[in-house]
C-alpha cells in the first residue's frame, strides 16, 4: 500500500490529523494496534481549549459537541474554606468546553468511514523503517498476515509507549522528565456535579478535583501515594475524602453514587526533543506528557496536529520542505509553555512529601495573591483557556 502520510495511532490526535489531511486532499492511512472499542473504553479528560474546538468546527464535526458539551467561563481554586473563582470569560473573552475525550474520539471514529478515512485497527507488530530517508515505510501484521505501507511522511500519534518515538536514534533525542510522587485516584459516577464549574482544591490532607462530563455525570479525583491500590478505596471512602478536601461549600452539594470506573493514574511531566526527525513527526503523548492539572494533554495534542497540518499542506501542495523542518520548533514552543503552566498549577495545589512549612507558606501566599490580584488571575485564565497557536 502507498500513501502520502502514514499515521500511527487512532486516538483523538491520529484521527483528528487524518480527517484534516483528508479534508485538504492529502492521502493518509491510520494504523491502530487496539480495537476501536478498546480505544473508546479509555477514560480521559474532557476540558477542550479553543484550538481543539476550532479544529472540530473546521471539520464540521462539532454538532454533538455543541449540543451536549458544557461551555465553561471559569473555574475555582479552593484552599480550606475559600473558593477563588477565576473568571476566564471575563478576563480573556473566551471559554473552554467540557466534553469528554471519549465522546470527541467517538465523533471522529464515526465520521471516518463516511469521509473515506482509512483506519486499520488491530494492527500488530508496528515498526517504522527508513525514517532518515525520503521513502519511509511502516510494517505491521493484520490477522496474522504481514503488510507494509510506503509513505512520504510518517506521523507518530501512538502515545508514550508506542514505537514512533523509539524509532528516533538515541543520539538524536533528548528527554526532559519529572515524575511526581503521587497519582490521581479518579471516580466516575452518574451523579450531578457539586458545582457548575471545576474546583481544584489544596487541602492539608491532599489535592482534590471536582469536575464533570455532563449535567448528570461527574468525575472526581484525589491525589494518593503511588503505593496505594485502587481496590483499597471503596466508593464510600472516596466520597468521604472528597467531602473533606473540597471544603464545606462543595461538600454540601456532593451527590454520592456508585462508581462507573475507578483508577489511579500516575503523574509526570515529560518532553522529548526534537518532535521531528527525517520524515517522522511526533504528535501528542508520543512527544510530551503533562500532569492532568490544568487539562492540557488532549489540547496540546490538538495544537501539535494544527502545526502538523500546516506543515504537511505546505509540503505536499507547494513542496515546502522548510515547513516540515520547522514543525518541531513551532510545536515545542507551545508545548513548553503548557508544561510550565501544568507544572506550576500542580506545584501550587498539591502537597509534596519533601515540602515543609516554608513551601506551605509559599502556597498560601500565592493563593492569597491570586485571590487579590486581577493581573494574576488574568495570567492563569489566559493559560487555562489556551495560548494562541
**Which amino acids are annotated catalytic?**
72, 200, 292, 296, 384
With contact defined as beta carbons under 8 Å apart, do 11 and 159 qualify?
A: yes
First CA to last CA distance, the chain:
34
Q: How far is CA 197 from CA 51, 68, 71, 192, 219, in A?
A: 20, 16, 10, 12, 12
Long-range contacts of 324-329, Cβ-Cβ distance < 8 Å, separation of 24 or more:
324/153, 324/276, 324/281, 325/276, 327/275, 327/276, 327/281, 328/273, 328/274, 328/275, 328/276, 328/281, 329/274
Distance CA 56, CA 150 (A): 29
Q: How far is CA 192 from CA 83, 109, 217, in A?
A: 20, 28, 6
Amino acid at each position: 500500500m502507498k500513501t502520502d502520510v502514514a499515521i500511527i495511532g487512532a486516538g483523538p490526535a491520529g484521527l483528528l490529523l487524518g480527517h484534516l489531511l483528508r479534508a485538504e486532499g492529502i492521502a493518509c492511512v491510520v494504523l491502530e494496534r487496539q480495537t476501536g472499542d478498546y480505544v473508546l473504553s479509555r477514560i480521559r479528560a474532557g476540558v477542550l481549549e479553543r484550538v481543539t474546538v476550532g479544529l472540530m468546527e473546521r471539520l464540521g464535526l462539532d454538532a454533538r459537541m455543541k449540543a451536549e458539551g458544557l461551555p465553561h467561563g471559569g473555574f475555582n481554586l479552593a484552599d480550606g474554606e475559600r473558593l477563588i473563582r477565576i473568571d476566564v470569560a471575563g478576563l480573556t473573552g473566551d471559554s473552554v468546553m467540557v466534553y469528554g475525550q471519549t465522546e470527541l474520539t467517538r465523533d471522529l471514529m464515526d465520521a471516518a468511514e463516511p469521509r473515506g478515512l482509512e483506519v486499520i485497527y488491530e494492527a500488530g507488530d508496528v515498526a517504522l523503517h527508513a525514517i532518515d530517508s525520503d521513502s519511509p515505510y511502516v510494517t505491521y501484521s493484520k490477522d496474522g498476515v504481514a503488510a507494509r505501507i510506503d509513505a512520504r511522511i510518517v506521523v507518530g500519534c501512538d502515545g508514550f509507549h508506542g514505537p514512533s518515538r523509539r524509532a528516533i536514534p538515541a543520539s538524536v533525542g533528548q528527554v526532559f522528565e519529572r515524575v511526581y510522587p503521587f497519582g490521581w485516584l479518579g471516580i466516575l459516577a452518574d451523579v450531578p456535579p457539586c458545582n457548575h464549574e471545576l474546583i481544584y482544591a489544596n487541602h492539608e490532607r491532599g489535592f482534590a478535583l471536582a469536575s464533570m462530563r455532563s449535567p448528570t455525570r461527574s468525575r472526581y479525583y484525589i491525589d494518593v501515594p503511588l503505593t496505594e491500590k485502587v481496590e483499597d478505596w471503596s466508593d464510600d471512602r472516596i466520597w468521604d475524602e472528597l467531602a473533606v478536601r473540597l471544603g464545606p461549600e462543595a461538600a454540601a452539594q456532593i451527590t454520592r453514587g456508585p462508581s462507573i470506573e475507578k483508577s489511579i493514574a500516575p503523574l509526570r511531566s515529560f518532553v522529548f526533543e526534537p518532535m521531528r526527525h527525517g520524515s517522522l513527526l511526533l504528535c501528542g503523548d508520543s512527544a510530551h506528557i503533562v500532569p492532568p492539572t490544568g487539562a492540557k494533554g488532549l489540547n496540546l495534542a490538538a495544537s501539535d496536529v494544527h502545526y502538523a497540518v500546516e506543515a504537511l499542506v505546505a509540503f505536499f501542495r507547494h513542496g515546502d520542505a522548510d515547513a516540515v523542518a520547522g514543525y518541531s520548533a513551532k510545536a515545542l514552543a507551545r508545548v513548553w509553555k503548557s508544561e510550565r503552566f501544568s507544572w506550576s498549577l500542580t506545584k501550587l495545589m498539591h502537597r509534596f512529601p519533601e515540602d515543609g512549612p516554608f513551601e506551605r507558606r509559599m502556597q498560601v501566599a500565592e493563593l492569597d495573591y491570586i485571590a487579590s490580584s486581577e493581573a494574576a488571575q488574568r495570567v492563569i485564565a489566559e493559560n487555562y483557556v489556551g495560548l494562541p497557536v
